[in-house]
Structure 1
Amino acid sequence: MKKISAVKAFGGMQYVYSHPSQACHCDMTFAIFLPPQAETRKVPVLWYLSGLTCTHQNVMDKGEYRHIAAELGVALVCPDTSPRGDAIPDEKDNWQFGQGAGFYLDATEQPFARNYNMQRYILSELPEVLKAGGFALDFERQGIFGHSMGGHGAITLALKNPGHFGSVSAFAPIVQPSTADWSRPAFEKYLGADEAFWRAYDATLLIEDGFRVNELLVDQGSADPFLENGLKPWLLEEACQKADIPLTLNMREGYDHSYLFISTFMADHIKWHAERLA
C-alpha cells in the first residue's frame, strides 16, 4: 500500500491509501478512519459504499462521520466506486456508467469484465489488503451501508453473504436496479442482455429468490428528485413484508438526495450499526 494522507481527527486518524488491485487490474484508492480505541484494541469495521459519480473522497469530506465513530469506537472503510485510469473502459459523457459507476458487481461482458469487479474487490481483496496492513480491525464484527448506488451495493452484498455482515443499512438506495432508469443500461453493458443474470444484483429480486438479512434500516428523503424513477423504496418495503424481513424505512420529510441529507442522519446509522456490532 501507498499512504496518500494521514490526518488526526477526534482523537483518531483519517487515512487515504492506494494499492494495486488484482480484482480490478489497476491502482485502487480507499479511505479508512480509525477511532482512538484502535490504539489499544481491535474495533468493529463499518463499510461505506458511495453512489454514482463519487469516489472515496465525497463521504470523507461531507459525511460528518468521524465524531460519532470516534465516540463509539467504530472504524469506517470507504472504498472507491469503480476502477480508475486511462486504460479502464469508460463512457466519459455518461455519469451513470463506467468510471464512478461500478454498481458493486462483477462484470461478465467485454470489455468491462477485466476491470469492473467491485463485488470481488470489496468482499475479498480489500479486506485482505487491510489485514496485511496490520490495522486494528475486528473482521468478526463487520457492518455495511451506503448511499444510492452504494445503498444498492450494501444491501445486495449483505443479502448474498449471510453472516459476513452483522448489520446493513442504506441512504436512498436503488432498490430495484433491474427496472430503474439509471441502472438498466449499465446492467446490460456489464452483465449482458439476459435479465436473468441481473437478479444477483437486485435487492428486491434477491429477496424474492430467498436471500435474507436479519433486519434493514433505510432513510429516504421525500424531496429526493430521483424518488419515483430511480429509487422506489416502496418496492423494497413490499419485498421485505412478503419475506418477513424487519425493515425500518424512515421517509424524511423535505430532504433530498445530497450529502446534506446523508450527514443529517449519519450518526443515527452509525449508532444503529454499533449496537449490532457490539
Structure 2
Amino acid sequence: MPLAFSTLGLPGHSLDAVLALATAHGWQGLELRAAPGEPVHTGLSSTRRRAAARQFASAAVTPLTVASYVGIAEPGPDAPVRAELLAHLHLAADLGAPYVRVFPRGGADPSEGARTAARRLLELADTAADLGVAVLVETHDSHRSGAALAALLAGARHPAVGALWDVLHTWLAGEAPADSHRLLAPRLGYVQVKDVASADDLTPLPLGAGVLPLPACLDRLPPDTWVSWEYEAPWHPAAAPFAPLLADGRSYLHRLTGCSKESW
C-alpha cells in the first residue's frame, strides 16, 4: 500500500524539510495541512504554487491531499463555505493533489447537517471533477462513525465526492473496523491512521504503541489504497517529536500491510 504522512505532525517545517524527511524514510506521499503559517495554504501566489509543484515532482513525492478546515455541514449560509472549498480545490489542482479533505462540522441535527453537506458538495462536484480533484469528507466531529458519514454521502452521489476514514473517530464512536470498512468502502478515498493510549488520553503515540485496532482496520483494504499517518502534534505539546518516529512508523505499516522489503 502507498504510504503518506500529514504535515500536521511537523508544524513550522518548510516544504523542503518535510519532503526531505519523506524521501529519507521511504514515504511516498504527504497530506498537506492547509492553514496560515504552513507552507501550503490558499493564500499562495501562482508563482509559489508552481514552485511547490516542482518541489514535489523533484522529490518524487505525491501531494496526496490538501487538508482543509472547511466544515461542509456547518450551519449557516452556503456562500462562504462554497467559496472556501472552491479555493482549496484550485489549490489542490495547482499542486497536483487528487484530494481535498473537509470536515462535517454539522450542528445538533445530523440529518439537517447531511442535507446541508450534500447540497454544498453537489454544487461544486462537477467543478472538482473538471479540476481532477475529489472532495473527501472525514469521519469526524458530528459524523464520526462510518454509518453517520455514509448517510451524509448518500445524498451526494458523485464520483468527485467520497470518504476519508479516520480510524480514531470511528473507534471513538464505538464502531467495529469491519463495519466501518463495509460502510465506507464504496466511497473510500484513503485511510488515516494514528494511535493513542485511551479514549481519555488522545496524545499521539507511535503506531502500534496504543489501543487502536490498526491491524483490523487495514487488513481489508485493497493493496492500492493510500494509508496516511496523522500525528496531532500542535494540540499535544507533550507528545514525542514526530520526525524521529517516521522510520519505525513506515516499517510498522509495511508489516501490517504485508509488504516485502523488495517492494519498499
- TM superposition score normalised by structure 2: 0.38
Specify which structure has the higher proportion of helix.
Answer: 2
Q: Greater strand share, 1 or 2?
A: 1
